[in-house]
Amino acid sequence: MTNHIVERASARLNESTLLEMFWGMLLSRRLDERAWALHRQGKIHFHISGMGHEAAQVGTAFALNRGVDYIHPYYRDLALSLAVGITPTDFMMSLFGRKDEYSSGGRQMPSHFSSKDKHIISGSSPVATQVPQAAGLAFAIQYRQKCGLVDPNDTSQPRLALACLGEGSTSQGEWHEGMNWAGVHKLPFICLVQNNIYAISVPLESQMAVANVADRATAYGVAGVVVDGNDVLAVYDVMVQAVQRAYSGGGATLVEAKTYRPVPHSSDDDDRSYRSREEVAEWKKKDPIMRFQNSLLEDGILNDSLLHDYESRARAEVDKAQADAEAAPLPDAEEVFGSVYAPLEEQP
């Protein structure tokens, strides 16, 4: 496992980018909190949260060529998806299962992000299926370059594929097989494991007999890195390296971001049966947003009035998103029939 950060790419980030990162994390959090509230109010059926994972996701997003590189997210990737271009209204439309909902026309449960435009691949619920598929996207990138169908330096073209998943999901054969292709073909591929030490109720030690998911990288001949997933800049730093490796033909990287989920698995879960309140409280102290906020305040990049502005803006955006979604109609029953088969003319 290589974990030597020779130079910190994050040291070169300018203030406005740092603030943009902070904003991305904050907006995701406020939207996420609203979703929980809407569920408590009985207004929506279901929410699955990205809380606590914002640093891992925003640190990752900012290292990519956003909207161009392929990403194949999982259900916690709200902050990642927002950073790549999904809007709060898009997300609210999903929560309410509205007509013309952006990802699936209201067919999928919320948090199944998708946008062809932004190169966000439509995800399913069965975990880990996205990993070998994302390896396939990376394979296609490499194929086009090798076969001379595209210029490897053309930044308007995807140059890597990213797949995200939780640590529990690496137990799936799907993950193994995807990682193996990435290693064998030295694919421009990054696998980000967001290790929050639980798969619903199942703790890490019942899931695998290794301390770090990244220890599994050696089995595939790919680079493996462990990073503090609550430190957005640390994540950014290792991701910049992983991206560089992918872009330069150096192959795949397995990045493990250690983090925590401070809330139940989803709105259907009650986490009191499987973990103590003390454990949760302890972890909340490491909250990635508070942490970044404090460091930005310390560095004088953020100040109280700016913070206040951000908070108001976030509230306003979330309010508006909710209002727009609530006002939007539901899909008609007959929409159930659409888009089973792509018509022949519609050759992609």
Ligand X SMILES: Cc1ncc(C[n+]2csc(CCOP(=O)(O)OP(=O)(O)O)c2C)c(N)n1
Contacts with its own copies by CB under 8 A lie at 171-177, 180, 183-184, 186, 205-210, 215-216, 218-222
Residues 6+ away with beta carbon under 8 Å from 293: 22, 302, 307
Residue number with CB closer to Mg ion (159 or 258): 258
**Cβ atoms of residues 193 and 255 within 8 Å:** yes
Nearer residue to its own copies within complex by CB, 57 or 142: 142
Ordered DSSP codes for 134-195: HHHHHHHHHHHHHTTSS-TT-TTS---EEEEEESGGGGSHHHHHHHHHHHHTT-SEEEEEEE
Q: According to CB under 8 A, which one of 50, 52, 59, 97 is a site residue for other proteins? A: 97
Rounded-to-integer distance, Cα 47 and Cα 42, Å: 11
CB < 8 Å & 24+ apart, contacts of 303-308: 306/19
Strand order in the sheet with 70-72: 70-72, 161-166, 189-195, 253-258, 223-228
Residue 269 in contact with other proteins, rule: CB under 8 A: yes
Q: Which does 180 bind (CB under 5 to 8 A by kind): Mg ion, its own copies, ligand X, none?
A: its own copies
The one of Mg ion, its own copies, other proteins, none whose footprint includes residue 342, by CB under 5 to 8 A per kind, is other proteins
What backbone phi and psi angles, to 5 degrees, belong to 328? -75, 150
Residues 125-164 that bind ligand X (CB under 6 A): 125-127
Transcribe 221-238 into DSSP letters.
Answer: T-EEEEEETT-HHHHHHH
Strand, coil or helix: what is 253? strand
6 binds other proteins (CB under 8 A): no
Q: How far is the CB of 150 from Mg ion (least distance, A)?
A: 36
User: Which of 168, 224 has the CB closer to ligand X?
Assistant: 168
* Phi-psi label, residue 306: left if phi above 0, alpha if psi -120 to 50, beta otherwise: alpha
74 touches other proteins by CB under 8 A:
no
Candidate segments 17-25, 28-36, 92-100, 252-260, binder of other proteins by CB under 8 A: 92-100
In Å, how far are 6, 38, 107, 333 from 263, measured between CA atoms?
35, 15, 26, 34
Distance CA 171, CA 307 (A): 41
Q: In the complex, what is the shortest distance from the CB of residue 155 to other proteins, in angstroms, rounded to a whole number?
A: 17
- Which tokens hold the place of 16? 């406005």
196 binds ligand X (CB under 6 A): yes
Site for other proteins in 165-194 (CB under 8 A): 168-169, 171-174, 177-178, 180-181, 184
Closer residue to other proteins, CB minimum distance, 143 or 290: 143
CB 14 to other proteins: min, Å: 33
Q: Per CB under 5 A, which region of 34-42, 162-170, 229-237, 238-246 contacts Mg ion?
A: 162-170
How much is the CA Rg of the chain, to the nearest whole Å?
20
Q: Which is nearer to its own copies, 217 or 321 (CB)?
A: 217
Residues 158, 84: contact at Cβ < 8 Å? no
Task: Compute the C-alpha angle 154/160/161, nearest 5°.
Answer: 145
Query: Per rule CB under 6 A, is residue 167 in the interface with ligand X?
Result: yes
76 binds, among ligand X, other proteins, Mg ion, none (CB under 5 to 8 A by kind): ligand X
Binding segment for other proteins among 2-10, 18-26, 123-131, 229-237 (CB under 8 A)? Answer: 123-131
Which residue, 304 or 334, has its beta carbon nearer to other proteins? 334
Max Cα distance, the chain (Å): 59
Q: Show the site string, 198-237: x = touches Mg ion by CB under 5 A, - = not.
A: -x--------------------------------------
**What residues numbered 174-203 form the site for Mg ion, per CB under 5 A?**
196, 199
- Are 186 and 159 within 8 A, CB to CB? no
What is the contact surface with ligand X in residues (CB under 6 A)? 76, 125-127, 165-169, 194, 196, 198-200, 265
Residues that bind Mg ion (CB under 5 A): 166-168, 196, 199
